[in-house]
Amino acid sequence: MLWIKNVTVIDPGQGVSGVNDVLVQKDKIVEVGPSFKAKEVLVKLGVTDINEVNQIDGDGKYLFPGLIDVHVHLREPGQEDKEDIASGSRAAIRGGFTSIMAMANTFPIVDQRAVVEFIKLQARRAGMARVYPISAVTKGFKGQELVEMMDIKDGGAVGFSDDGKGIQNAEIMRLALEYVKLTGCPIISHCEDEALASKGVMRRGRTSARLGLPGIPASSESVMVARDILLAAETGGKLHIAHVSTKESVEMIRWAKGKGIDLSAEVNPHHLIFTDEDITLTDTSYKVNPPLPSREDQEALLEGIIDGTIDMLATDHAPHTWEEKARPFQEAPFGINGLETSLAAVWQKLVQSGKLTPEKLVECWSLNPAQRFGIEGGTLKPGSLADMVLFDPLYKEEISTEAMESKSGNTPFLKKELQGFPVITWVEGRMLMKNRKII
Amino acid sequence: MKWKPKDLLDLDNLTTEEIEHILQTAKPMREILSRPIKKLPTLRGKSVVLLFYESSTRTRTSFESAAKILGADTTNFTVAQSSITKGESLLDTAKTIQAMNVDLVVVRHSSSGAADFLADTLKASVINGGDGQHAHPTQALLDLFTIQERIGDIKGKKVVIVGDIIHSRVARSNAIGLQKMGADVTLVGPPTLLPTEMSYLGIKLSHDLDKELPGADVVMALRLQLERQQSGLFPSIREYSKLYGLSVDRIKKTGKQTIVMHPGPMNRGVEIASDLADSVQSVIEKQVTNGVAIRMALIYLLIGGGTGNVVD
């Protein structure tokens, strides 16, 4: 039993935003309300001795519903040198995420029920963040035949995505959006036209020209966003656009929502914080796909979040080993490690600077993901699972691989100090992280 | 002046004085090249590794000659005979070289940034012998030297660079170097090979060669990689040559005794006609000779201590 006192609760799910007390019994939230008295607490929790209640002073701190990350790569099965389900779900807890959705580009690819069930089993063994598997759309990511969507959904998948690779054949995408209606789950589209992206390694523009690096034009994403929106409109299938990074994509998503198309979209923190101009030839931690955007794109992305065009924040946590990233820029793999730095980075760069409210952050990183993907969490309403994050806006930390739970350290924030970190994370009422360390 | 940089990666991080100092140092080197006995003891005991991941004849030979004339020992690390073909990473290759206590590594690599990557890793000096589409500083320096030698002060001279600009490390490094030396540079090519993002250089971009030729003191043709036609970047070699190929007739449009340059190897009859390549206006062979002098100057400045008098 838990009594968190005087904490600033941010819970857009029940319109709460202010200093409150929070009561938890076993795995559920009991009540959120202004300063309870000890006697009331005893009654509400149905106990006789106040010493049975763990009391935490939340003064000066925030309490968020546990964050939900709809886009992570846990690398297991197959690439456990980069990450595994245990290390990735520990990293999630340390970063304030109580639920994560794991992408399907593992080896083997998640295109059968057995693999989905294996991931769920490994996550249960780890006992950290709840892990929701995402299945491939097409067998072997080949873009040719659909996976057994119904069987896989029954095995526990919450969405379908060939993330890491765009589905190039429009007819296959159309069929996927039709067939997925059986499941009620969304297709999560990695929008990338391979012919346009070609051998590019960063956003095409003046910086790519200066560095002599092959560029990926913004159109390589935007044309696929346009295509998939039209296909979603035609089929009525549920669509979620992963890692939106261009202003044209934002404009089309805005248009589509105006038309009532069943569509949601996410943006990655690194696209809101860095631009192509930050890239140098010798720091491959900035190499990511979709590539870091132009400044105008970045402004459009932020505007999209503020006006609700973009529904979610998602890390696209993509761990890679040190050796893989210790290569010339052109040869290093794409991906940024995000679970343990993203909340702090977004807090410091966007919330502290007044560009984003704490309410919006929680809406985009907890409430909306839960609602869109039909998973538990997202709010601290009485009766909900006690997935919670106690967040200290003053806590400073220098990012280091020693402290990180992830097996990889491929983040542009390495050796840099960030401010604003989760200090306690609870999943279903169990305290799994305290003072920045997994318990 | 006292020479400070440890590496030569590109011209954008050199000051104009440093560029001038290199060109100045290359002058006595050029003189040594015309001596009957081309050998100096200056860098005796110093070791230079030539790490070439891309095929190259003139650049590698040029560096090798330059190092040997100065008395340094050279080792060739070529892809086909090394552990690179066994899958060794550039980082491990670099560490291996480091462990051999070499003084200078000259690297050519198909990835942009490979030289910067090595310089970050190695204690030895690094010279970029061409990295991907990024930079080819020694080519640019030898071009500056050649222009100076032929027409004097570069400041205010009109230079036209024509060809596959976007894929060209030669064009990038030359544009930067020429700008620093005060030249008026125009880049010319079809829109597919000279896209708008090249505007980062802050110089004139044009798709019309004939319009840019009048008044040009220097015209530089770039090598056209013929495979690019198959990827759709231009319709045919015939049309490319018609629009952007240099010839004796076309070069008359400059109205000057323009000098004509090419970094080699040439596609005769494509970007440059044989009549022009072999004419008195062509300085293509001079570029090769000066390349050795420039590389001698650089090797001397980077590992020769940068002091003392190289010429006895």
**CATH number of domain containing B257:** 3.40.50.1370
Residues B69 and B175 in one domain: no
Write the CATH number for A388. 2.30.40.10
Residues B83 and B126 in one domain: yes
The pLDDT assigned to A408 comes to 98
Partner A contacted by B174 (CB < 8 A): no
Residues A183 and A287 in one domain: yes
The pLDDT assigned to B231 comes to 86
B144-179 b/e with 16+ CB inside 10 Å = b?
A: bbbbbbebeebeebbbbbbbbbbbbbbbbbbbbbbb
Answer yes or no: is B238 within a domain. Answer: yes
Max intra-chain CA distance, chain B: 56
Residues A263 and A391 in one domain: no
**Domain count for chain B:** 2
What number of C-beta contacts closer than 8 Å exist between A and B? 69
Residues A359 and A430 in one domain: no
Domain boundary among A350, A373, A396: A373
Q: Say what percent of chain B tops pLDDT 90.
A: 83
Taking only residues 198 to 257 of chain A, the set having a beta carbon closer than 8 angstroms to any beta carbon of chain B reads 204-215
The one catalytic residue in A84, A111, A316, A387 is A316
Which regions of chain B are under pLDDT 50? 308, 311-312
Answer yes or no: is B69 within a domain. Answer: yes
Residues A171 and A94 in one domain: yes
Residues B178 and B250 in one domain: yes
The pLDDT assigned to B308 comes to 47
Partner B contacted by A196 (CB < 8 A): no
Residues A19 and A107 in one domain: no
Residues B122 and B193 in one domain: no
Determine the distance in angstroms separating the CA of B53 from the nearest CA of chain A, rounded to an integer: 13
Answer yes or no: is A394 within a domain. Answer: yes
Angle at A116 between CA A115 and CA A121, to 5 degrees: 95
A213 to chain B: which residues are within 8 Å by CB?
A: 112-113, 132-134
Residues A35 and A149 in one domain: no
Residues A329 and A434 in one domain: no
Q: Which domain holds residue A360?
A: 80-373
The pLDDT assigned to B83 comes to 62
Taking only residues 319 to 338 of chain A, the set having a beta carbon closer than 8 angstroms to any beta carbon of chain B reads 323, 326-331
The pLDDT assigned to B87 comes to 75
Partner A contacted by B13 (CB < 8 A): no
Residues B156 and B259 in one domain: yes
Answer yes or no: is B311 within a domain. Answer: no
For strand A202-203 and strand A187-189, is the pairing parallel, antiparallel, or unpaired? unpaired
Q: What are the backbone angles phi and psi of residue B51, rounded to the nearest 5°? A: -105, 95
Domain boundary among A340, A355, A373: A373
Residues A193 and A305 in one domain: yes
Residues A56 and A107 in one domain: no
Determine the distance in angstroms separating the CA of B255 from the nearest CA of chain A, rounded to an integer: 33
B176 to chain A: which residues are within 8 Å by CB?
A: none
Answer yes or no: is A306 within a domain. Answer: yes
Residues A332 and A410 in one domain: no
Which regions of chain A are under pLDDT 50? none
Answer yes or no: is B9 within a domain. Answer: no
Active site includes A316?
Answer: yes
The region, left, alpha or beta by phi > 0 then psi within -120 to 50, assigned to residue B225 is beta
The pLDDT assigned to B78 comes to 75
For strand B158-162 and strand B184-188, is the pairing parallel, antiparallel, or unpaired? parallel
Determine the distance in angstroms separating the CA of A213 from the nearest CA of chain B, rounded to an integer: 6
The pLDDT assigned to B86 comes to 67
The pLDDT assigned to B82 comes to 63
Answer yes or no: is B174 within a domain. Answer: yes
Residues B147 and B260 in one domain: yes
Answer yes or no: is B312 within a domain. Answer: no
Answer yes or no: is A72 within a domain. Answer: no
Partner B contacted by A368 (CB < 8 A): no
A210 to chain B: which residues are within 8 Å by CB?
A: 172, 200-201
Residues B145 and B280 in one domain: yes
Answer yes or no: is A331 within a domain. Answer: yes
Q: Which domain holds residue B278?
A: 137-284
Answer yes or no: is A308 within a domain. Answer: yes
Determine the distance in angstroms separating the CA of A410 from the nearest CA of chain B, rounded to an integer: 17
Answer yes or no: is B6 within a domain. Answer: no
DSSP codes of every residue in A171-190:
HHHHHHHHHGGGTTPPEEE-
Residues B152 and B279 in one domain: yes
The beta-carbon neighbor of B111 closest among A206, A215, A331 is A331
Q: How far apart are the first and last CA of chain A?
A: 18
Answer yes or no: is A334 within a domain. Answer: yes
Answer yes or no: is A75 within a domain. Answer: no
Residues B126 and B207 in one domain: no
The region, left, alpha or beta by phi > 0 then psi within -120 to 50, assigned to residue A26 is left
Residues A21 and A103 in one domain: no
Answer yes or no: is A69 within a domain. Answer: no
**Domain count for chain A:** 2
Answer yes or no: is B172 within a domain. Answer: yes
Residues B235 and B295 in one domain: no
Instruction: Say whether the ipTM exceeds 0.85.
Output: yes
Residues B126 and B54 in one domain: yes
- The residue among A194, A277, A281 with the most chain B CBs within 10 A of its CB, best to mutate, is A281
Partner A contacted by B205 (CB < 8 A): no
B91 to chain A: which residues are within 8 Å by CB?
A: 323, 326-327
The pLDDT assigned to B226 comes to 84
Residues B157 and B263 in one domain: yes
Residues A185 and A322 in one domain: yes
Domain boundary among A327, A349, A373: A373
Identify the closest residue of chain B to A329 by CA–CA distance.
B113
Taking only residues 90 to 129 of chain B, the set having a beta carbon closer than 8 angstroms to any beta carbon of chain A reads 90-91, 109, 111-114, 116-117, 120
Partner A contacted by B84 (CB < 8 A): no
